[in-house]
């Protein structure tokens, strides 16, 4: 379940156009957010945060991540280790080994802007509370 709707993503991107695969991008972005927040504890209703401020942060984070995935042009991550490519008269070179990348030589699958937002809001890194 996505933490943002296509309508909210449309508002976020305005005036830029919304990708045709917006709903799928939002689902993928929500999965990335869930993975980053494994161990976080917060109240939910139907899987969504009940705290409106937290829901707003999740919505913004997912919109940022969905835009990032769309801008990468690599929804599945299949080209994450490609350092440069050319198509016709277009050429793209990626800065590899950036902070947040899975390993040196791979393009980060998580938006640095999403990580910044989560850090500023005190949500990342997650330090789960354990009982015992």
What is the per-residue DSSP string for 32-98?
Answer: HHHHHTTT----EETTEESSHHHHHHHHHHHHHHHHHHHHHT-TTSTTTT--EEEETTEEEE--TT-
Give the pLDDT score at 119: 92
Q: Which tokens hold the place of 64?
A: 């940022």
pLDDT band at residue 108, thresholds of 50, 70 and 90? confident
The rounded mean pLDDT for the chain is 86
What digits encode the pLDDT tens for the residues 28-85?
999 999 999 998 889 999 989 999 999 999 999 999 999 999 999 888 877 776 667 6
Distances in Å between the Cα of 122 and the Cα atoms of 3, 85, 100 are 18, 37, 17
Say which residue, 97 or 10, is predicted with more confidence.
10
pTM: 0.79
So what's the pLDDT on residue 90?
A: 79
Q: What is the pLDDT of residue 98?
A: 47
Comparing CA positions, the residue from 83, 86, 60 lying closest to residue 5 is 60
Higher pLDDT: 125 or 113? It is: 113
């Amino acid at each position: 379940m996505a933490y943002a709707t296509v309508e909210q993503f449309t508002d976020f991107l305005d005036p830029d156009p919304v990708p045709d695969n917006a709903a799928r991008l939002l689902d993928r972005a929500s999965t990335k957010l869930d993975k980053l927040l494994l161990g976080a504890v917060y109240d939910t209703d139907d899987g969504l945060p009940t705290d409106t401020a937290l829901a707003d942060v999740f919505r913004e984070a997912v919109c940022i991540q969905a835009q990032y995935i769309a801008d990468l042009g690599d929804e599945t991550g299949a080209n994450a280790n490609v350092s440069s490519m050319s198509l016709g008269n277009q050429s793209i070179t990626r800065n590899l080994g950036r902070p947040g990348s899975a390993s040196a030589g791979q393009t980060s699958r998580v938006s640095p802007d999403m990580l910044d937002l989560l850090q500023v809001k005190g949500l990342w890194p997650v330090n789960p509370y354990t009982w015992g």
